[in-house]
Structure 1
Amino acid sequence: MNTEQILSEIREANLSYMMLAQSLIRSDREQALFRLGISEETATLLEMLSPAQMMKIASGNTLLCRMRCDDDLVWNLLTNHGKSAANDSVSRLHASILMAGRHREAA
């Protein structure tokens, strides 16, 4: 994949992410804040963006969304390395609780 293809993928991901975020915010704000891991202020800004503004912001070369799973504990819970399938739902629930707690700390 060359540089231009990577930048095109980033622009597409940015636009998709912002459209999803805006849709979630408009349909269920509390769920959007939790699922996206964003602040109330960011949600307000995203909600008010026009399509032209979203296109302009998305056209940058920096990815706007980021991985919320940024530590080994959460990744291990999500991937279930060395665990049976029976523990899958418990591990995912534990990971969700950890990520939700981090969202509350950041807000």
Structure 2
Amino acid sequence: MNAEQILTEIREANLSYLMLAQSLIRTDREQALYRLGISDETALLINTLSPAQMMKIASGNTLLCRFRMDDDLVWGLLTSHGKTAANESVSRLHASILMAGRHQEAA
């Protein structure tokens, strides 16, 4: 598997995860919180994402899901609510750095 294939797989996994999470939240919120290991605030955010926002978030090269991901700061940075285009790039970079740091802490 080459690098481009890996990135494609990550993007597909990201979109699948977001779609699954949103579906679970809309079907049974309490069960979704338990199964996904997310907070109420995170569930509210995921529930309100538009399809375009989900596609945009999923298109990154970092895997979004992890075991019991519950980081409201990262979600806020990725959705860039109320940010200008210039600030959006900085927010996405900041989110990537935070997620990489979480990976190091878990290792």
- Give, in angstroms, the shift of residue 67 of structure 1: 2.9
- CA displacement, residues 12-64 of structure 1 (integer Å, 9 cap, x when unaligned): 00000000000000010000000000011110000000000000000000101
Q: Quick one: distance in 1 between partners of 2:44 and 2:36? A: 13
- Which of structures 1 and 2 has the bigger CA Rg? 1
Runs of 4 or more above 2 Å deviation: none
Q: Which runs of 5+ in 2 are unaligned?
A: 69-107
Sequence identity (%): 84
**In structure 1, what is the equivalent of residue 53 of structure 2?**
53
**In structure 2, what is the equivalent of residue 23 of structure 1?**
23
**In structure 2, what is the equivalent of residue 14 of structure 1?**
14
Q: Quick one: distance in 2 between partners of 1:55 and 1:49? A: 10
**In structure 1, what is the equivalent of residue 44 of structure 2?**
44
Residue identity opposite 1:32 in structure 2? A
Q: Quick one: distance in 1 between partners of 2:9 and 2:53? A: 19
- Give, in angstroms, the shift of residue 65 of structure 1: 0.5
TM-score by length of 1: 0.62
Q: Quick one: distance in 1 between partners of 2:67 and 2:35? A: 12
Q: Quick one: distance in 1 between partners of 2:52 and 2:11? A: 14
Q: Which runs of 5+ in 1 are unaligned?
A: 69-107
Residue identity opposite 2:22 in structure 1? Q
**In structure 1, what is the equivalent of residue 5 of structure 2?**
5
TM-score by length of 2: 0.62
Q: Quick one: distance in 1 between partners of 2:33 and 2:67? A: 15
* Partner secondary structure for residue 61 of structure 2: coil
Aligned length: 68
